[in-house]
Every structure is written in structure tokens, then in C-alpha cells.
Amino acid sequence: MPETLIIFDIDGTLLHSNRVDSQCFAQAYELVFKKPFPTIDWRQYPHVTDTTIFNTVIQQHFGRQASEEDIQRQLDCFVGLLTENRRKDPQQFAEVPDAKNMIEKLIDDDRFVIGIATGGWMRPATLKLNHIGIPTEHLHMSFADGKETREEIINSSIQSAKQHQNNFNRIVYVGDAVWDVQTTRTMQLNFIGIRINGDREVLLREGASHVIENYRDYSQFLQFVETAKVPSLSSKIQQ
């Protein structure tokens, strides 16, 4: 029976798309709502999810909550821009080395159940997963649609997986950003960091115990799955 649930972020974790994704999100907003997008420094928002970011900017500009129609207009334009950019320059959406192969191996290994939990909305997220050929039919996926916090999103993926398997001896989240470390520390989840540009210290300073650059060393990844820890606040303070 599966013993370990491994949950992955998408952008910066499975594919190189953070920069173009952020630019397309802001460009879509400006095209649809005719207002300057405040900042793509996501740390400036209460929560790093598409729902919270979008709601915050709509509130700032129009003094109201975003409607479902607002969200759909933003999504239509955002997905259109992502599709256009992907067609013009597919390398902007390049797979993190061996991510697809690694996911496929994990799916085939009875010891593991695999999830996706991303701060992005479902439509753009699945577009990117499909672009690099990651199979999604066996993944317990959760997105920002209707959810404001990353904790809600990760919990949704966990609950979906628990419907498949009553409980797990171990849960590990794999992500690339400072807010991923902070979220897993709050939730007391084991964490593996990935920094595809090699700047491992960004996550180590936050208390991550393990940081990789890609998935080429599958045996090392499995070792880290077994030994990764909840990010330590004391480690952050010491560094």
C-alpha cells in the first residue's frame, strides 16, 4: 500500500515558466481592465495565489470584490497570452530536467501517491502540465479556483489523496519559492526545495533541509523524500 504522498508545485518546480507566467497575468489584467497592474512581486500580496492576487488588485482599482465574470475575462485573456507565448517560444515553458520522467516513475511505484497543489488557476496550470507532457489522470490536483490561501490548496490535494488511501506515513511537498517553505512550515509538512538556477541558499536560509536543481538523480530524490524535514525556523535564524 502507498506509504508516502508527494505533492508538487508547478511553476519553477516542474517547468520554467515563472517569469512569462507573471508577465502574462499582468498583461492580461491591463488588457481587460485598462488599469496598470501594481506589481508582479507576489510577496506584496496577502497570499500568493491567483485568486488572492486578482481579488486584491480588483479591490484596489474598483473598490469591490472580483465577480465570476471578472475572473473568467481575466482567465480567457491570460490563457490566450500563455498559449501565444508558448507557440512563439516553447522554451519559455521548458520542463525542469527529467520532471516528466520522474513523475511517471513515481506514479508507477506503489509506495507513492502523487499530488499537484499550485497557487495558479486550473486552466493555465493544466495548459502548462500538458505542454510538457506530464500525465494528470493519476494525480490528486488542487488549484486556486475558489481558494485564497496556499494552505487551502495543499489541504485540498491531501484530502483528495486520502480518499484514495486512508492515511499516509509521510507527506512531502516539493516547491521552489520562499512562500512554499513558509506554508509547509505553518502546515508542519516535510519539504524539498528546488531552485532551477542553482541559488539553493534562497530556500536554505528559510529553513529548507534539502534543495535540488532538477530531477536527473532519481535515487537522490527518493532519498530526500525519505529524509526531508519540516522547514525549521531555528535553521533560518541560525543562517
What digits encode the pLDDT tens for the residues 175-210? Answer: 999 999 999 999 999 999 999 988 999 999 999 999
Chain segment 97-152, per-residue pLDDT in tens = 999 999 999 999 999 999 999 999 999 999 999 999 998 998 999 999 999 999 99
- Res. 87: pLDDT tops 70: yes
As a whole number, mean pLDDT of residues 49-54 equals 98
As a whole number, mean pLDDT of residues 30-39 equals 98
Predicted local distance difference test score (pLDDT) of residue 165: 78
- Res. 66: pLDDT tops 50: yes
Predicted local distance difference test score (pLDDT) of residue 81: 97
Burial of 6 (0-12, 13-18, 19+ CB in 10 A): buried
| Spatial CA neighbour of 99 closest among 218, 199, 195 | 218
- Res. 235: pLDDT tops 80: no
Predicted local distance difference test score (pLDDT) of residue 85: 92
- What share of the chain in percent tops pLDDT 90? 86
Compute the Cα dihedral for 42, 12, 122, 157 and give only its sign: negative
Which class is 18-91 in CATH? mainly alpha
Compute the Cα dihedral for 52, 54, 60, 66 and give only its sign: negative
Put simply, whether the predicted model's pTM sits higher than 0.85 gets the answer yes
Predicted local distance difference test score (pLDDT) of residue 238: 41
- What share of the chain in percent tops pLDDT 70? 96
Predicted local distance difference test score (pLDDT) of residue 1: 59
In the chain, CATH 1.10.150 covers: 18-91
- Res. 18: pLDDT tops 90: no
In the chain, CATH 3.40.50.1000 covers: 4-16+93-238
Predicted local distance difference test score (pLDDT) of residue 226: 96
- Res. 237: pLDDT tops 70: no
Predicted local distance difference test score (pLDDT) of residue 36: 98
Question: If one looks up domain 4-16+93-238 in CATH, what number appears?
Answer: 3.40.50.1000
Which own/partner contact pairs does 202-211 have at CB distance under 8 Å and 24+ positions apart?
202/178, 203/176, 203/178, 204/235, 204/239, 205/236, 205/239, 206/178, 206/181, 206/182, 206/231, 206/236, 207/181, 207/231, 207/232, 207/233, 207/234, 207/235, 207/236, 208/181, 209/235
Query: Using 50, 70 and 90 to split pLDDT, how confident is the model at 239?
Result: very low
